[in-house]
Amino acid sequence: MTKVIILGASNSIPTAESENTHMVIVGRDRTVLIDSVSNPILRLEQAGLDFNNLTDIIVTHFHPDHVSGVPLLLMDMWLMGRQKPLNIYGLHYTLDRVEDMMGFYNWSEWPNFFPVVFYRLPVREMTLVLDCPDFTIHASPVKHMIPNIGLRVNFTQNQKVMAYSCDTEPCDEVVRLSAGADVLIHEATGESSGHSSATQAGEIASKAEVNKLYLIHYPTGRFAKGDLVAEASQTYQGGIQLAKDFMVLEF
Strand 183-187 relative to strand 212-216, pairing: parallel
| % pLDDT > 70, the chain | 100
Model pLDDT for residues 186-232, shown as the tens digit of each residue: 999 999 999 999 999 999 999 999 999 999 999 999 999 899 999 99
Return the pLDDT at 1.
80
Cα 131 from Cα 129, distance rounded (Å): 7
Model pLDDT for residues 133-171, shown as the tens digit of each residue: 999 999 999 999 999 999 999 999 999 999 999 999 999
Number of C-beta neighbours around residue 181 at 10 A: 23
For the chain, the structural domain boundaries read 3-250
Tell me phi and psi for residue 24, to 5 degrees: -140, 140
Model pLDDT for residues 10-47, shown as the tens digit of each residue: 999 999 999 999 999 999 999 999 999 999 999 999 99
Say how far residue 167 (Cα) sits from the centre of its chain.
Answer: 9
- Report which of 7, 19, 11 is spatially closest to residue 224, judged by C-alpha positions: 11
Return the pLDDT at 79.
96
- Are 153 and 27 in contact by the 8 Å Cβ rule? The answer is no
93-122: average pLDDT: 97
| DSSP 8-state assignment for residue 61 | -
Q: Which top CATH class is 3-250?
A: alpha beta
What is the overall mean pLDDT for the chain?
97
Return the pLDDT at 26.
98
- Are 236 and 213 in contact by the 8 Å Cβ rule? The answer is yes
- Report which of 213, 220, 163, 247 is spatially closest to residue 12, judged by C-alpha positions: 220
- The yes-or-no verdict on residue 110 having pLDDT over 90 is yes
Cα 118 from Cα 86, distance rounded (Å): 9
| % pLDDT > 90, the chain | 99
Band of pLDDT at residue 48, cut at 50, 70 and 90? very high
Cα 163 from Cα 184, distance rounded (Å): 5
Cα 179 from Cα 27, distance rounded (Å): 23
81-99: average pLDDT: 97
